[in-house]
C-alpha cells in the first residue's frame, strides 16, 4: 500500500513583488498615449509559481512552495504573504540579493497589462539544493519557466517517482524544448505555440507538439478560453464573460484551477471549464495573489 502524500501540490519556481500602475490607456510610442498620467499605483505580490501555490491553497489543497527569496524587505514580504495564505514556506531559500520584482502597467479600460521584470541570477536554484524526497512526497508538482534548469531538474525528480508535473510555458529559450519534454502536462501561453511549431492554428500547433509528447497538452487562449489535446481528442472551452479589471494573474490562476480539477478527477472538459472560471474571476480583481478566487466563487460563476 502506498503511503499518503504529504502535499497535494508542491510549486517550485519564482515569486515577485509587483509595482502595479493603472493607466487610462495602453502606452504606445509615437502616439497620443506615449505620455500618460498614472491613475493609481499599488505594491502587490505575485510571481508565476507563488501565485499558483497561493491559489491552490485558497482552493483547499495542501500546498508547499519551494523557491528563492531575497534577503530584503520584498523577500520577507512575499514569503510572509504566502505563509499567511496557508502555503508551507519552510523550504524557501534566502539569498544575499534583492528579491525579484516587476513593474506592471494595467490599461484600466480593458485590464490588459505589460510586465517589465528584474531578477538576480543568484535567485536560481541548483540541482543539489532540491530535496528529492520532499518533491516526490506530493500528489502533483508545478514548475514555471523562469529558472528553467531548476524546473527541468524538479520535473525529472518528480516523474521518476510517478508524480505528475504541470508547467507554465510563457517564453521560448534554448531550453524550452527540454522543459516541455520533462513535464507531464505543459500548459502553454497562447503566443508560445506558434513560436515553437510555426503553426498559427491552435489545433495544428497542439498536434505538432503531440509528435514528441504523449501527455495532455493545454493552451490558454485569453478571451478565447482554453484548449487541450487529450490523446487525439481536441477539447475546447470558451471563456467566461466578465468585466476585466486586471489580467495579470489570469494564467497563473487558470493553472491552479486546472490542478485542482485534475486532482479531483474532473473530466477534461470540466477541467478546462473550472480553470476558465477561476481565471475569469482573477481578471475581475487587481493584482496577482490578491486576485485569487475562492472555491465557492468559482462554483457560483460556473452555475451562472
Which of 25-29, 58-62, 81-85 is predicted least confidently?
25-29
Residue 150 counted as domain residue: yes
Report percent pLDDT > 90 for the chain: 85
Tell me the mean pLDDT in the region 174-191: 97
The per-residue pLDDT for 115 is 87
Tell me the mean pLDDT in the region 110-124: 91
Q: Is the pLDDT of residue 84 over 50?
A: yes
Q: Is the pLDDT of residue 51 over 60?
A: yes
Q: Is 302 exposed, middle or buried (0-12, 13-18, 19+ CB in 10 A)?
A: middle
Residue 173 counted as domain residue: yes
Residue 39 counted as domain residue: no
The per-residue pLDDT for 1 is 36
CB 266 within 8 A of CB 274: yes
Q: Is the pLDDT of residue 168 over 60?
A: yes
The per-residue pLDDT for 4 is 61
Q: Burial letters for 185-202: b for 16+ Cβ neighbours within 10 Å, e otherwise? A: bbbbbbebbeebbeeeeb
Residue 2 counted as domain residue: no
Q: Is the pLDDT of residue 279 over 80?
A: yes
Residue 213 counted as domain residue: yes
Q: Is the pLDDT of residue 287 over 90?
A: no
Q: Is the pLDDT of residue 248 over 90?
A: no
Residue 1 counted as domain residue: no
Which of 75-84, 207-216, 292-301 is predicted least confidently?
292-301
The per-residue pLDDT for 40 is 93
Residue 70 counted as domain residue: yes
Which of 7-16, 27-36, 109-118, 256-265 is predicted least confidently?
109-118
> How many angstroms separate the CA atoms of 20 and 238, rounded?
28
> What ranges in the chain are assigned the alpha helix state H?
48-58, 73-84, 132-135, 148-160, 176-182, 192-197, 202-210, 250-263, 268-283, 295-303
Residue 120 counted as domain residue: no
Structural domains of the chain, count: 1
**Residue 161 is part of which domain span?**
7-14+48-97+126-303
| CATH number of the domain encompassing residue 146 | 3.40.1190.20
Please provide the DSSP assignment of 84-96 as one string: HTT-B-TTPEEES
Tell me the mean pLDDT in the region 16-45: 92
Question: Could you tell me the pTM of the whole model?
Answer: 0.91
Which of 3-7, 78-82, 101-105, 264-268 is predicted least confidently?
3-7
Amino acid at each position: 500500500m502506498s503511503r499518503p502524500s504529504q502535499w497535494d501540490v508542491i510549486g517550485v519556481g519564482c515569486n515577485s513583488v509587483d509595482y502595479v500602475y493603472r493607466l487610462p490607456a495602453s502606452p504606445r510610442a509615437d502616439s497620443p498615449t506615449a505620455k500618460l498620467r498614472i491613475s493609481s499605483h499599488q505594491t502587490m505580490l505575485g510571481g508565476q509559481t507563488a501565485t499558483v501555490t497561493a491559489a491552490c491553497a485558497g482552493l483547499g489543497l495542501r500546498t508547499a512552495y519551494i523557491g528563492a527569496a531575497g534577503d530584503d524587505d520584498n523577500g520577507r514580504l512575499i514569503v510572509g504573504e504566502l505563509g499567511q495564505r496557508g502555503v508551507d514556506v519552510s523550504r524557501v531559500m534566502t539569498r544575499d540579493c534583492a528579491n525579484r520584482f516587476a513593474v506592471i502597467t494595467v490599461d484600466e479600460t480593458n485590464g490588459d497589462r505589460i510586465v517589465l521584470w528584474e531578477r538576480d541570477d543568484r535567485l536560481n536554484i541548483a540541482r543539489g539544493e532540491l530535496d528529492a524526497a520532499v518533491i516526490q512526497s506530493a500528489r502533483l508538482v508545478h514548475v514555471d519557466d523562469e529558472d528553467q534548469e531548476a524546473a527541468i531538474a524538479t520535473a525529472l525528480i518528480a516523474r521518476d517517482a510517478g508524480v505528475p508535473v504541470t508547467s507554465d510555458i510563457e517564453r521560448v529559450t534554448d531550453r524550452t524544448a527540454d522543459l516541455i519534454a520533462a513535464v507531464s502536462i505543459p500548459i502553454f501561453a497562447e503566443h508560445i505555440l506558434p513560436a515553437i511549431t510555426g503553426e498559427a492554428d491552435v489545433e495544428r500547433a497542439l498536434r505538432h507538439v503531440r509528435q514528441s509528447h504523449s501527455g495532455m497538452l493545454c493552451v490558454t487562449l485569453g478571451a478565447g478560453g482554453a484548449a487541450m489535446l487529450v490523446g487525439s481528442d481536441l477539447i475546447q472551452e470558451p471563456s467566461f464573460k466578465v468585466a476585466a479589471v486586471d489580467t495579470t494573474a489570469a494564467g497563473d490562476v487558470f493553472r491552479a484551477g486546472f490542478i485542482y480539477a485534475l486532482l479531483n478527477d474532473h473530466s477534461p472538459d470540466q477541467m478546462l471549464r473550472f480553470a476558465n472560471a477561476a481565471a475569469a474571476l482573477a481578471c475581475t480583481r487587481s493584482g496577482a495573489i490578491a486576485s485569487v478566487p475562492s472555491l465557492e466563487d468559482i462554483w457560483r460563476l460556473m452555475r451562472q
